[in-house]
Amino acid sequence: MNESQKYSANEVSSMQQNELESRAFIRTASALNMIKEHWEEKKSELPEALDKNRRLWTIIASAMQEQDCPQPPEIRQNIINLAMFVFQRTVKVLAEPSPDSLNALININMNIAKGLAGKQADEGELSSGS
């Protein structure tokens, strides 16, 4: 393991779950946005980027179905419904790819990332006594 990998591993192990999830959503949204903005040069990367996004949403949806999931049932169901929308949208994008077809997936991921980042900030304020 080189120094960069050690740093990354240490950085990841010290992050809170919300921060990790937020970064994952930002990373996938950024990859999709890069393809959108540089369509002609990057459209060949679309299937791989969509697959990474689908895998992220599969992990999130699976976590919502776990017995020990701490989220309230209505939140869990909303996230599962959102994941189903993402899966359906992904199939549509693959069937009819265009730069604008990526907007919904990019926006959803960025909004989820913002929500997770806000939740982390709220938890930090609570633990610091603010």
Per CATH, the architecture of 19-128 is what?
Up-down Bundle (1.20)
Give the long-range contacts of residues 48-52, CB within 8 A, separation 24 or more.
50/90, 50/93, 50/94, 50/105, 52/28
- pLDDT tens-digit series, residues 20-39: 999 999 999 999 999 999 99
Residues 6+ apart with CB under 8 A from 108: 82, 85, 86
Q: What is the pTM of this model?
A: 0.79
> What is the per-residue pLDDT for 45?
98
Give, for 26, the enclosing helix (H) or strand (E). helix 17-37
